[in-house]
Amino acid sequence: MSREFIARHQRARIIAALAEETAEKGYRAVTVAHIVKRAGIARNTFYENFGSKEECFLATQEFAMNTALERVVSAAGEIDDWPQRVRAGLTAFLTYVGEEPALARTCMVEALSAGPASVRYYEESQQAFVSLFQLGRDVSPHGGQLPETIEEALIGGVFWIVYQRLTGPEASRIGELLPELTEFILTPYLGADEAGKVANGGGEQNSGKRRDRG
Amino acid sequence: MRDPANPSVDSPEYPPELARLPPGRHGLPREFVAHNQRERLIAGLAEAVAENGYAGTTIAHITRHAAVSRRTFYEHFNSKDECFTAAYDTVMTELRERVGSAFEQEDEWPDAVRAGIAAMLEFLASEPHLARLSMVEALVAGPVVVERYDEAIQSLVPYFQAGREGRPPEVLAGLSPTTEEALVGGMVSLISRRIFAERTEELESLLPDLVEFTLTPYLGSAEAAKAARRS
């Protein structure tokens, strides 16, 4: 094994350990000692990778948001029909959250009490999803008249709902949110009727602008 | 519209906690002074947090802004956290009363929503320090305050739920149990992002966008846009 491989692997293990510890104990209560123990590494190794718990936390947030975004882009990118694309992207996002509840809790719940840098990162990273939603203006009959901030508000709403579920007892049922969140996002662009059809798994025939299904 | 979140709201007044007693001898009764000291400490905390952020604020900062002694601080609060929580509750009570009373003054639900949002934006824009305290610093002030923050946001849900009343079945079919939560979450995220970026002066210009965003699920885009642009 190359030195680089080991280093990358160590970093990933530390990030996973921080997420698990944070989801269990809360950000404030977690110490570097907890992380080191959970990751099964030496204290020195931690400090070779990160300057502090705060730095490690930010790296964890960055890792999770990048992974989420990659998953969304790769799921949504294959589809031309915009409403279906939103549905696929949202499916990928909710699936990732469901697969990694500790990481999701760390980044969407604990991040809010982990200091100003984390809150800022949380707020800014939501903006990465704006362009995916903005494409809806081209298929909307009134796309030109939609409020400038609609994408920002829709994403804020989706994150808030997921955040609420992650703090409650229904965290494992995140995936069930798919139809209602799809409908919530699509309604301003397509109207409630069409949005409802797509949300419930239909609506392909009416939405035009799509390539051959193959 | 009846205020669905606060059934009995008194006329809104500026909270006494945020008023200040001029320094010096004043021959006021002891209880009044004690009450006023607490209010001054709360106002002092708001100023100190605006200057130093929550983490950077010390009790010395608070007592300096409040112009009271350290001992007086500990007569009222056990810790910085406790003082912050008191300040947070004061701001939220004020905000709730303003939103509730603006909402109540309108007969039609879409106008009531517009008035409630306008009242909220106006308060936050006119009090940038308190806006920051309640929407930004509250999040880093520990789990107790974060829980209160969540509750405060959720307490806005009934104002939107009131919009379901009398709506035709096809509209109701398009709403989910979480529609209102999502609307409130979206609205708050738009507001807090402006406060975070220290662009509080832009808050009031968000009014038409927020009205259109929140009314669309109930009225459809065209009607919501009309209500948003009405002045």
At B28-78, the pLDDT tens digits run 666 666 678 898 999 999 999 989 988 899 999 999 999 999 999 999 999
Burial tier of B41 (Cβ tally within 10 Å: 0-12, 13-18, 19+):
buried
Q: Residue A204: what pLDDT?
A: 59
A150 to chain B, minimum CA–CA distance in Å? 7
**Residue A169 is encoded by which pair of tokens?**
């007892």
* Residue A84 belongs to domain spanning: 53-199
CA dihedral B109, B110, B113, B114 (to 10 degrees): -140
Q: Is residue B12 predicted with pLDDT exceeding 50? A: no
User: Are A149 and B217 in contact (CB < 8 Å)?
Assistant: no
Does residue A175 lie in a domain region? yes
Contacts of B139 in chain A (CB under 8 A): 112-113, 119
For tokens 């519209």, what's the residue? B1
pLDDT at A142: 93
Q: How high is the ipTM of this complex?
A: 0.85
Q: Is residue A89 part of a domain?
A: yes
pLDDT the model gives residue B10: 46
Q: What is the pLDDT of residue A38?
A: 96
Assigned domain for A44 exists? no
Please list every residue in chain A whose beta carbon sits closer than 8 Å to the beta carbon of residue B184. Answer: 157, 160
Residues 207-226 of B with CB under 8 A from A: 208-210, 212-213, 216-217, 220-222, 225
**Rounded mean pLDDT, B89-109:** 95
- How many domains are contained in chain B? 1
> Could you list the residue range(s) of the whole structural domain that residue B184 is in?
16-229
The answer to whether residue A139 sits within a structural domain is yes
Q: What pLDDT, on a 0 to 100 scale, did the predictor assign at position B104?
A: 96
The pLDDT value recorded for residue A210 is 41
Cα–Cα distance between A133 and A135 in angstroms, integer? 5
CB atoms within 10 A of CB A204: 14
Q: Is A119 in contact with B136 (Cβ distance < 8 A)?
A: yes
**Which chain A residues have any C-beta within 8 angstroms of a chain B C-beta?**
26, 28, 112-116, 119-120, 123, 126, 142, 145-150, 152-161, 163-164, 167, 177, 179-181, 183-184, 187-188, 191-193, 195-196
What is the count of structural domains for chain A? Answer: 1
Chain B residue numbers with beta carbons less than 8 Å from the beta carbon of A147 are 208-209, 212-213, 228
Q: What is the mean pLDDT of chain B?
A: 88
- At B101 the pLDDT is 96
Find the CATH number of the domain harbouring B87.
1.10.357.10
Residue A156 lies in a domain: yes
Identify the DSSP state of B79. Answer: S
Which residue do the tokens 């989706």 mark?
Answer: A158
Specify if B96 maps to a domain.
yes
Please report whether residue B10 resides in a domain.
Answer: no
> Is residue A47 domain-resident?
no
pLDDT tier at B136, thresholds 50, 70, 90: confident
Token output for A147: 């409020």
Closest by Cβ to B189, choosing from A120, A142, A156: A156
In a domain, B105, yes or no: yes
pLDDT, tens only, B173-228: 989 999 999 999 999 999 999 998 889 999 999 999 999 999 999 999 999 999 99
pLDDT for A213: 38
Q: How far apart are CA B24 and CA A136, in angstroms?
A: 63
Q: For chain A, list residues with pLDDT below 70.
A: 1, 203-214
